[in-house]
Amino acid sequence: MELSKEQLIEMYKKMVQIRKFEERVVKLFADGKIPGFVHLYIGEEAIAVGACSAIEPKDYITSTHRGHGHLIAKGGKIDLMMAEILGKATGYCKGKGGSMHIADVDLGILGANGIVGGGFTIAAGAGLSAKMRGTDQVTLCFFGDGASNQTTFHEGINMASIWNLPVVFICENNQYGISLHQSRHQRVADVSDRAVAYGIPGVTVDGNDVVAVYEAVNEAVKRARNGEGPTLIECKTYRHRGHFEGDPVVYRSENEFNEWLKKDPIPRFEEKLTEMGVLSKKEVDEINEWAVKIIDEAVEFALNSPEPELESAVRDVYTDIIEEVRK
Amino acid sequence: MMPEVHASGIIEYDTSGGSKMAKVGIIANPQSGKDIRRLVAHGTVIDNLEKVNIVKRLILGLEAVGIEEVVIMPDTFCIGERAIEDLGKKYSLKTKTSVLEMRIEGSQEDSQKAAKIMAEEDVGCIITLGGDGTNRVVARGCGRVPIAPVSTGTNNVFPTMMEGTIMGLAAGVVARRLVRLDEVCFQSKRLSIIKNKKEVDSAFVDVVVCKDVFVGSRAIWDMNKIFRIVTTRGEPTNIGMSAIGGFFHPISVFEDKGHSIKIGKGNLKVKAPISPGIVEWVDVEKFEVISVGDSVRVLQKPSILALDGEREVEVSENDEVSIRLLRDGPLVVDVNKVMNAAVNKGFFTA
């Protein structure tokens, strides 16, 4: 499948939108406007965008604690996301979930997840559901290198492989599980090596190259829709920020950081698109301004939104049980 | 003394039969065999732990023929360190083993840098674990040191599927110059990529001109995206794009010839294994045999040149690019010849 000019521009716009969103979250967090933790996606934008460009609106994703990028790439509403992160009643979870619990089932976003490795079995479940309903929906399951050591990795992938479920497991190997370098938390250097244990294909791609990610996920999605089962794709990448905002990042060298900064996925893609004549410098500037404007509007919406009411704390926690208890 | 190569491609060797060079280098690429062809084709899966096992067997083979020292490229998976550590638990090796002290980037430049250091350290042979792509990078740095390539990649023409123990024995025999190099090695051909009058890269099996404009996931697998294939060789036992030439007009490593094949509707169709497990009919519009010294101009622009199976060189509208066939590639060990020569000389009998 060839990528059209429109698709390439759309991919670039999404990457810029994620970057601008996260940069604004950095500022809002520093200003003390955000309750709770935030884990930012800066530097990894090529993965969410490359992967979500290979699926359709009807398909599903499961996300992680570092989920803003996935949600935006899948079409999540920026204003509702921002309101949720700022803990406002207009947010996706009515201001009660925060960054790590945003979901939009109508858009196929089955949720960010505060539990490391929490997405594997949800993705397998979504895959099973699609298979039982006889649809050709595919689920993308994003996770990190650290999550690949969780028991749910085994459970989710094993189940998906034995039942031939239409799931693509996408490892965002950003080299660190919190502050622990990958070489200190697992004996394999390539998470894709683990695919062989489940009898499924495993490939490794440059996670900072949006087209490389797109190509691999596109092929895996074709397999999944064709009933050939799951695939494990490892995308090598690097997060520019710490594990969470406020992390002093004392565990990695400046040298290492600078080397990865040279591979920043957005300037790389931008350079290629301008070189190809897909975008002019002026259009690049316009896209950046457009992205900032959307974020400005989202922040304004969020800041002007009401706080959740105290009594709403127990609402939406359980379905009917609370009402029954009240009775 | 390393062999001298004349313009004719004839190699002159040190024929003293001396065994003074008893050091061997090993370059194991931790990234080989993990590309997208495991999805779009049925590429071999060799994980890094198996590469550790292969390196162990190589070292044991090398020790058996009296190699004094083995140096191994460092890598992100620590293949060398693991092999040395594992062997140390079981054996007390006479062969000194170590990992080169060099900074690693986790990129293909590591292999090139390691090959250069090994050549400077006068190793008698470099064993590679990887595919065509790995050997292409090693060849940039190894100078005139013979390469003994073990296949752990996907579409492999340059390296062979060979048991590590045997490759260790053969590389050791070569490194000690126990046999004449001109009898057991061959000089490979090379495709030089000239972009705007400057050589920018090389390939040792094939160059594929692709319709892609992105390097992306690097591999090539879709015949609809291919304009032209230029090869140094192609035989009916090959896999990959060079097989297209090999399946109707075989050219061996020894002939001073290559293929230039234009893909598209024409009078010829070839059934060839273009990727592991994928044998399909390919339309050939035009086919030429080229000779060493000939150049093929790249007319399709923009395009990407895939070198030995990996998209590498971008060609824009304004670039002038040509592909030139030369006989100045790396020396490659022919394992069958080495082992037969060694057996005939009685090295393995007492």
Better pLDDT: B34 or A268:
A268
Interface contact flag, B217 A212, Cβ < 8 Å: yes
Angle, in degrees to the nearest 10, between helices A281-303 and A265-276: 140
H or E element in which residue A257 lies: helix A254-261
pLDDT single digits (tens) B180-202: 999 999 999 999 999 999 999 99
Task: Among A204, A211, A220, select the one facing B34 at the smallest CB separation.
Answer: A204
Total domains in the fold of chain B: 2
Task: Judge if B166 and B215 occupy the same domain.
Answer: no
Closest-CA distance, A231 to chain B, in angstroms, reads 8
By DSSP bridging, strand B23-28 and strand B125-130 are parallel
pLDDT single digits (tens) B235-293: 999 999 999 999 999 999 999 999 999 999 999 999 999 988 999 999 999 999 999 99
Interface contact flag, B39 A183, Cβ < 8 Å: no
Contact list, B108 vs chain A (CB under 8 Å): none
Say which DSSP state A175 is in: S
Task: Judge if B162 and B211 occupy the same domain.
Answer: no
d(CA A234, CA A144): 9
Segments making up each domain of chain A, as ranges: 5-326
Task: Among B39, B76, B77, select the one facing A216 at the smallest CB separation.
Answer: B39
Q: Return the residue in B31, B39, B303, B310 with the most chain A beta carbons within 10 A, the one to mutate for interface testing.
A: B39
Instruction: For residue B49, give the CATH number of its domain.
Output: 3.40.50.10330
d(CA B154, CA B140): 20
H or E element in which residue A167 lies: strand A167-173
Classified as helix, coil or strand, A234 is strand
Residue B319, in any domain of the structure: yes
For chain A, say whether B47 makes contact (Cβ under 8 Å).
yes
By DSSP bridging, strand B321-326 and strand B198-203 are unpaired
Task: Judge if B149 and B234 occupy the same domain.
Answer: no
Task: Judge if B119 and B234 occupy the same domain.
Answer: no
For chain B, say whether A228 makes contact (Cβ under 8 Å).
no
Task: Judge if B27 and B157 occupy the same domain.
Answer: yes
Using the predicted structure, report yes or no on whether residue B1 has a pLDDT greater than 50. Answer: no
Classified as helix, coil or strand, A130 is helix
Return the structure tokens found at B20: 């003074």
Instruction: State how far Cα A128 lies from the chain centre.
Output: 21
d(CA B319, CA B333): 37
Task: Judge if B170 and B302 occupy the same domain.
Answer: no
Task: Judge if B247 and B322 occupy the same domain.
Answer: yes
Instruction: State how far Cα B201 lies from the chain centre.
Output: 15
Q: What does the angle CA B109 – CA B110 – CA B112 come to, to the nearest 5 degrees?
A: 65
Confidence of residue B340 (pLDDT cuts 50, 70, 90): very high
**pTM for the full predicted model:** 0.88
Closest-CA distance, A58 to chain B, in angstroms, reads 23
Contact list, A184 vs chain B (CB under 8 Å): none
Closest-CA distance, A204 to chain B, in angstroms, reads 6
Task: Among A189, A211, A275, select the one facing B48 at the smallest CB separation.
Answer: A189
pLDDT single digits (tens) A126-137: 999 999 999 999
Radius of gyration of chain A (CA): 19
For chain A, say whether B35 makes contact (Cβ under 8 Å).
yes
- Distance spanning both ends of chain B, measured CA to CA: 30
pLDDT single digits (tens) A144-203: 999 999 999 999 999 999 999 999 999 999 999 999 999 899 988 899 999 999 999 999
Return the structure tokens found at B232: 């140094």
**Adjacent-strand bridge partners of B28:** B129
Closest-CA distance, B137 to chain A, in angstroms, reads 18
d(CA B113, CA B115): 5
For chain A, say whether B302 makes contact (Cβ under 8 Å).
yes
Instruction: State how far Cα B147 lies from the chain centre.
Output: 8
Contact list, B45 vs chain A (CB under 8 Å): 196, 202
Residue B9, in any domain of the structure: no
Using the predicted structure, report yes or no on whether residue B106 has a pLDDT greater than 90. Answer: no
ipTM higher than threshold 0.95: no
Contact list, B105 vs chain A (CB under 8 Å): 259
Contact list, A183 vs chain B (CB under 8 Å): 76, 78
Q: Return the residue in A205, A208, A221, A236 with the most chain B beta carbons within 10 A, the one to mutate for interface testing.
A: A205
Interface contact flag, B39 A219, Cβ < 8 Å: yes
| % of chain B residues with pLDDT over 90 | 74
Interface contact flag, A189 B77, Cβ < 8 Å: yes
What's the rounded mean pLDDT across residues A261-282? 96
Return the structure tokens found at A8: 């390439």
Question: HEC profile for chain B?
Answer: CCCEECCCCCEECCCCCCCCCCEEEEEECCCCCCCCHHHHCCCCCCCHHHHHHHHHHHHHHHHHCCCCEEEECCCCCCHHHHHHHHHHHHCCCCCEEEECCCCCCCCCHHHHHHHHHHHHCCCCEEEEEECHHHHHHHHHHCCCCCEEEEECCCCCCCCECCCHHHHHHHHHHHHCCCCCHHHHEEECCEEEEEECCEEEEEECCEEEEECCCCCCCCECCCHHHEEEEEECCECCCCCCCHHHHHCCCCECCCCCEEEEEEEEEEEEEEEEEEECCEEEEEEEEEEEEEECCCEEECCCCCEEEEECCEEEEEECCCCCEEEEEECCCCEEECHHHHHHHHHHCCCCCC
- Which residue of chain B has the CA closest to A233? B36
Residue B106, in any domain of the structure: yes
Task: Judge if B129 and B229 occupy the same domain.
Answer: no
Residue in this structure with the two tokens 């999944």, named with its chain if needed: A224
Q: What does the angle CA A13 – CA A238 – CA A46 come to, to the nearest 5 degrees?
A: 25
pLDDT of residue B33: 75
Instruction: State how far Cα B42 lies from the chain centre.
Output: 21
Contact list, B34 vs chain A (CB under 8 Å): 190, 192-193, 202-204, 234
For chain B, say whether A147 makes contact (Cβ under 8 Å).
no
Return the structure tokens found at A225: 């829709």
Residue B137, in any domain of the structure: yes
For chain A, say whether B301 makes contact (Cβ under 8 Å).
no
Interface contact flag, B39 A196, Cβ < 8 Å: no
Task: Judge if B177 and B284 occupy the same domain.
Answer: no
Task: Judge if B100 and B28 occupy the same domain.
Answer: yes
For chain B, say whether A223 makes contact (Cβ under 8 Å).
yes
For chain B, say whether A255 makes contact (Cβ under 8 Å).
no
For chain A, say whether B30 makes contact (Cβ under 8 Å).
yes
Residue in this structure with the two tokens 């609106």, named with its chain if needed: A57
pLDDT of residue B155: 66
Task: Judge if B87 and B156 occupy the same domain.
Answer: yes
For chain B, say whether A173 makes contact (Cβ under 8 Å).
no
pLDDT single digits (tens) B49-99: 899 999 999 999 999 999 999 999 999 889 999 999 999 999 999 999 999
What range defines the domain where residue B101 resides?
20-188+330-344
Contact list, A214 vs chain B (CB under 8 Å): 216
pLDDT of residue B218: 85
Residue A248: is it exposed, middle or buried by C-beta count within 10 angstroms (0-12/13-18/19+)? exposed
Task: Write down the architecture of domain A5-326 according to CATH.
Answer: 3-Layer(aba) Sandwich (3.40)
Residue B76, in any domain of the structure: yes
For chain A, say whether B216 makes contact (Cβ under 8 Å).
yes
Classified as helix, coil or strand, A150 is coil
Using the predicted structure, report yes or no on whether residue B317 has a pLDDT greater than 70. Answer: yes
Closest CA to B82 of B102, B63, B54: B54
Interface contact flag, B217 A216, Cβ < 8 Å: yes
Inter-residue contact A94 to A316 (CB < 8 Å): yes
- Which residue of chain B has the CA closest to A208? B216
Q: What does the angle CA A124 – CA A127 – CA A133 come to, to the nearest 5 degrees?
A: 140
pLDDT single digits (tens) B136-191: 999 999 999 999 999 987 668 889 889 999 999 999 999 999 999 999 999 999 99
| Widest pairwise Cα distance in chain A | 67
- Taking CA atoms, B275 is separated from B38, B234, B268, in Å, by 10, 14, 20
Q: Please compute, for residue B287, the number of CA atoms within 13 A of its CA located in the half-sphere on the CB side.
A: 18
Residue B13, in any domain of the structure: no
Classified as helix, coil or strand, A254 is helix
What's the rounded mean pLDDT across residues A35-43? 95
Closest-CA distance, B105 to chain A, in angstroms, reads 9
Instruction: For residue B304, give the CATH number of its domain.
Output: 2.60.200.30
Better pLDDT: B268 or B36:
B268
Task: Among B30, B48, B216, select the one facing A215 at the smallest CB separation.
Answer: B216
Return the structure tokens found at B104: 């690693």
Task: Judge if B41 and B181 occupy the same domain.
Answer: yes
pLDDT single digits (tens) B213-233: 888 888 888 889 999 999 999
Inter-residue contact B16 to B177 (CB < 8 Å): yes
Summary mean pLDDT of chain B: 90
For chain A, say whether B121 makes contact (Cβ under 8 Å).
no
For chain A, say whether B213 makes contact (Cβ under 8 Å).
yes
Residue B15, in any domain of the structure: no
Contact residues for B272 (Cβ-Cβ < 8 A; gap 6+):
B243, B244, B246, B247, B279, B280, B282
Closest CA to A211 of B145, B201, B304, B346: B304
